[in-house]
Amino acid sequence: MVINVQNIELKKGSVLGIEIDYPKTKFLSITVSNIGYVMCGILDVKILDALHLERRIIAAKIPGASNLMDLLSLQITEVTETAAKIGIKVGMTGEEAINGMLDAKIPK
């Protein structure tokens, strides 16, 4: 198993990319520290909201990504309720969502 962790520099700040190679699949995530994340198709947004709505998790699902750069360039297909409340929308790219998280006024 290979685990790759790297800082990714964007115009609005630094984020953390994590890539884990599992047998026959790959886990990809880019996290904005203490705010939220975008993740590959493994993320189940409906379950996340159903089980943990009180946590106000800010997350977006981006299926079809093969690497961290894909997570930045591909479009979001699902977002958590709290992500939607701060302006993260289906159809945005991962980079647009990450920049939105970096700019966000996070609800308490």
**3-state SS, residue 24:** coil
Q: How many helices (H) and strands (E) does the chain have?
A: 4, 6
Closest CA relative to residue 27, chosen from 66, 78, 82, 85: 66
CATH class of the domain comprising 2-103: alpha beta
Domain ranges of the chain: 2-103
Q: What average pLDDT score do residues 48-72 get?
A: 94
Q: Tens digits of per-residue pLDDT, 16-29?
A: 999 999 999 999 99
**pTM exceeding the 0.75 threshold for the entire prediction:** yes
- 90-100 exposure pattern, b = at least 16 Cβ within 10 A, e = fewer: eebbbbbbbbb
Comparing C-alpha atoms, which of 104, 41, 42 is closest to residue 76? 41
Residue type, 62: I
What does the mean pLDDT of the chain come to? 94
Distance between start and end Cα atoms, the chain: 38
